[in-house]
């Protein structure tokens, strides 16, 4: 089965979303006042609105384009809460706190730990979460902390404080948290992981991808998909070393950054086999892509050649070679989005198209990447 795209695509259309419209780039109101900061300087607050929730960003890192990624996280979190009747969230790199606020207000999280390494953001985060009653003692709904990501994950483990969902919105290819995150997540819990390393996924820094994710990546035309498989594969490797295994609920690529986000379910039981953790080849001659297991190393060839180890064959890995989405889970996400009024009746068309596309991409018969139109005659 072939997935055909125009002759000269930009990055792979696989998991490619249209340029998102800003939900509500609401500038600071005319009656905003200057605020005295801890360092004695003055500045005006920057008010934003997302899904009806107002918050400030000031000098914290914030992108309206990431709203879709936050929508997907909230939908999965809400489904988990409905299924398990509980939801404890650790937002490891919370920035201005908008994700933490949305987990509390929309997913009805029982508790959220909003952590950011920069304590200069504390006033902004506290101000954004104050609309949610904080509570006290065992009834406390949220706290704000300022620790290094690995430290907060390790301390949660030492205190036996485990979370149903851990959201790590990291920058670049810093994957060191993958070694500690599994200590703080509950069995059958969720991990929402991020990479913004488009250079490595494009095969331009193979030694960097090898160090960060244990995968040697060479240039392939569908770098969007490779970046997601690289991120999942890194999580698979670290999980296996600690007696866990993970399976993706959805995988999401966004052009800005670029940003690769995956929602994983963590299982604590017998390790799975390696059928979804191997190598992907791409033939520069005919455009064919295929997966190879560890047992097939040294036997790689392309159908267009009778020679093993053809010079036209490019191989990357090890990577996640299994499904990038769980169709059942995404269907539930779409149904919940309709119930909340986020899609349907002419609203939320971008989110609806994205979720519908993910359902289509869940078809196990689909090949890796895509085939260009000018390659179709050679492959038919």
Predicted pLDDT of residue 300: 86
20-34, 78-92, 163-177, 356-370, range with the lowest pLDDT: 20-34
Q: What is the spatial distance between Cα 77 and Cα 67, in angstroms, rounded to a whole number?
A: 15
Best CA proximity match to 277, nearest among 251, 302, 295: 295
Predicted pLDDT of residue 310: 67
Predicted pLDDT of residue 355: 97
Q: What residues form DSSP beta bridges with 264?
A: 191, 248
Q: Do 24 and 49 contact (CB within 8 A), yes or no?
A: yes
278-322 pLDDT, tens per residue? 999 998 888 889 999 988 888 888 888 766 656 788 999 999 999
The residue with tokens 């990431």 is 66
H helices present in the chain, as ranges = 67-84, 98-105, 122-129, 149-158, 198-201, 206-213, 223-241, 327-339, 349-361, 376-379
Residue 21: pLDDT band (50, 70, 90) is very low
Q: Do 240 and 276 contact (CB within 8 A), yes or no?
A: no
Q: What is the spatial distance between Cα 208 and Cα 202, in angstroms, rounded to a whole number?
A: 12
Q: What is the spatial distance between Cα 227 and Cα 203, in angstroms, rounded to a whole number?
A: 10
Predicted pLDDT of residue 377: 55
Sequence-separated (6 or more) residues with CB below 8 Å from residue 270: none
Residue 7: pLDDT band (50, 70, 90) is very low
**pLDDT over 70 (residue 59):** yes
**pLDDT over 90 (residue 214):** yes
Residue 20: pLDDT band (50, 70, 90) is very low
Predicted pLDDT of residue 372: 64
Whole-prediction pTM value? 0.85
Residue 275: pLDDT band (50, 70, 90) is confident
Using CB atoms within 10 A of its CB, is residue 61 exposed (0-12), middle (13-18) or buried (19+)?
Answer: middle
Query: For all residues of the chain together, what is the average pLDDT?
Result: 85
Q: What are phi and psi of 4, to 5 degrees?
A: -100, 140
Q: Do 233 and 287 contact (CB within 8 A), yes or no?
A: no
Average pLDDT rounded to a whole number, residues 259-270:
88
Task: Say how many Å lie between the first and final Cα of the chain, rounded.
Answer: 10
SS (H, E, C) 228-266: HHHHHHHHHHHHHHCCCEEEEEEEEEECCCCEEEEEEEE
Higher pLDDT, 272 or 114: 114
Residue 378: pLDDT band (50, 70, 90) is low
As given in the structure block, the two tokens for residue 134 are 């904080």
9-18, 205-214, 336-345, 352-361, range with the lowest pLDDT: 9-18
């Amino acid at each position: 089965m072939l997935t055909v795209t125009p002759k000269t695509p930009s990055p792979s259309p696989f998991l490619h979303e249209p340029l998102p419209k800003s939900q509500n780039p609401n500038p600071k109101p005319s009656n905003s006042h200057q605020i005295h900061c801890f360092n004695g300087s003055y500045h005006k607050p920057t008010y934003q609105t997302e899904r009806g929730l107002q918050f400030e960003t000031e000098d914290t890192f914030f992108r309206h384009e990431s709203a879709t990624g936050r929508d997907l996280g909230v939908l999965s979190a809400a489904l988990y809460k409905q299924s398990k009747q509980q939801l404890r969230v650790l937002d490891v790199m919370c920035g201005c706190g908008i994700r933490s606020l949305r987990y509390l207000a929309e997913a009805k999280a029982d508790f959220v730990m909003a952590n950011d390494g920069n304590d200069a953001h504390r006033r902004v985060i506290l101000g954004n979460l104050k609309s949610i009653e904080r509570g006290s003692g065992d009834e406390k709904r949220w706290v704000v902390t300022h620790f290094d990501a690995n430290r907060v994950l390790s301390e949660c483990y030492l205190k036996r404080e485990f979370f149903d969902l851990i959201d790590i919105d990291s920058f670049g290819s810093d994957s060191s948290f993958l070694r500690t995150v599994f200590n703080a997540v509950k069995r059958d819990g969720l991990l929402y992981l991020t990479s913004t390393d488009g250079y490595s996924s494009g095969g331009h820094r193979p030694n960097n991808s090898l160090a960060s994710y244990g995968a040697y990546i060479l240039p392939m035309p569908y770098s969007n998909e490779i970046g997601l498989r690289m991120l999942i594969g890194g999580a698979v490797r670290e999980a296996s070393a600690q007696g866990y295994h993970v399976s993706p609920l959805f995988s999401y690529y966004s052009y800005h950054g670029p940003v690769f986000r995956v929602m994983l379910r963590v299982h604590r039981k017998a390790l799975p086999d390696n059928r979804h953790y191997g190598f992907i080849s791409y033939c520069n001659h005919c455009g064919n892509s295929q997966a190879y297991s560890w047992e097939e190393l040294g036997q790689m060839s392309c159908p267009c050649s009778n020679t093993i180890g053809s010079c036209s064959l490019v191989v990357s890995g090890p990577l996640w070679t299994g499904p990038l989405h769980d169709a059942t889970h995404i269907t539930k996400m779409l149904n919940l989005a309709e119930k909340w009024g986020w899609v349907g009746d002419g609203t939320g068309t971008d989110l609806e198209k994205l979720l519908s596309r993910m359902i289509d991409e869940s078809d196990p018969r689909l090949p890796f990447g895509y085939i260009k139109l000018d390659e179709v005659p050679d492959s038919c």
